[in-house]
Amino acid sequence: MNRRNAGDLAVSAAVGTLVAFVLLAMVVAGHHGTPLLTDGGLLSWSVRHRPPVAVAAARGVTGTGTGVVAYLLAVLAGVLAGRDARQRVTAGAVCLACLGLAQVVRYGVMSLIARPRPPVGDWATQATGWSFPSGHTTTSAVTAGLLIAAVLLRAPRGSRAIVTAIGCWAVLVGLSRVYLGVHWSTDVVGGWLFALCWLAVCFRLAARYRPALRAPSGESTPRTRDAACSRRAGGGSAGAVGSPGGPPRETG
């Protein structure tokens, strides 16, 4: 997919997910924090099915969806995306900025809607702040999107298993927030929609403004190899007219 097509796809994804997120946020705000759709049912199921091993596993998964782990993974995405040291540093900084700004915007939306969390008595872990959209869900989804983009950029073939594993990690982080009772299910859906919209905007900007990635010194790219072949072919054609080893003769 060329840069223009990728940019058009990103715009479509951004618009679609933004509309869905805004509609969900309006419904959440209009109900003043009360449970929606399957919120109550999923929370009740989670409370009734909490063996110690499952709770410990959920806490372990949910802990990877925020804080140092998420930002280290964002840096890793930048390292994977770059070809040389300079590109890796730049890409790592861009990935960190993408994740950090997503947190700032999400926090503003969360404070604006101010949805209360589920009852504290149903919590199986600690949590702070308002509920919508889920912070852990948003953070892990944005991080996963950056990692998936980096993997596909460097290894477009044979990376299905890695991409699937990264996507499953982000999904499990979101589901763990509902299982542990600190978020409603619609908080998690809102986090996924917000993250997808944010990633689409970031990818659109990257497709438009980033310079073409160049290979490091001594490494040829398909474009440079094609150009070299064209020059050699042109030189051979020119040398065909005239004496071998000498300048071409005028003809006609």
The pTM of the full predicted model, rounded to 2 decimals, is 0.81
Are 65 and 138 spatial neighbours (Cβ–Cβ below 8 Å)?
A: no
**Average pLDDT value for residue range 45-63:** 96
Give strand ranges (E) for the chain.
none
pLDDT band at 246 (very low <50, low <70, confident <90, very high): very low
Which pLDDT value is given to residue 5?
67
Check residue 251 and give its pLDDT: 39
First to last CA, the chain: 47
- Residue 82: how many CB atoms within 10 A of its CB? 21
Read off the pLDDT band of 169 (50, 70, 90).
Answer: very high
Average pLDDT over residues 152-156: 82
Q: State the pLDDT at residue 210.
A: 62
